[in-house]
Amino acid sequence: MQVFRTRKFLDMLEHLPSSVQSIYHVQEAILQANPRDSRLHLKKLQGMNNTYSFRIARSYRALFIWENNTVWLFAVGNRKDIYR
């Protein structure tokens, strides 16, 4: 599976606490190995085609589009803000 990150995603990731960034890298490796792994707590977002989120830490999520064995990560942040 190919994983691409947008510039906005990388900027958002850079502003997260270093402990959350470390957990993100573990979760991304799990995503690449098996996107349906239960440790990701994967959820399809309502009203958005092929758009999903996965849990990074208790309060942090990453949003991505999943099409044809390709993942486009486009947002990451605190769950209270990320869905806006």
34-74 tens-digit pLDDT: 999 999 999 999 988 999 999 999 999 999 999 998 999 99
- Boundaries of every domain in the chain: 2-82
**Superfamily of segment(s) 2-82:** RelE-like (3.30.2310.20)
Burial label, 74 (beta-carbon count in 10 A; 0-12, 13-18, 19+): middle
The overall pTM is greater than 0.85: yes
14-29 tens-digit pLDDT: 999 999 999 999 999 9
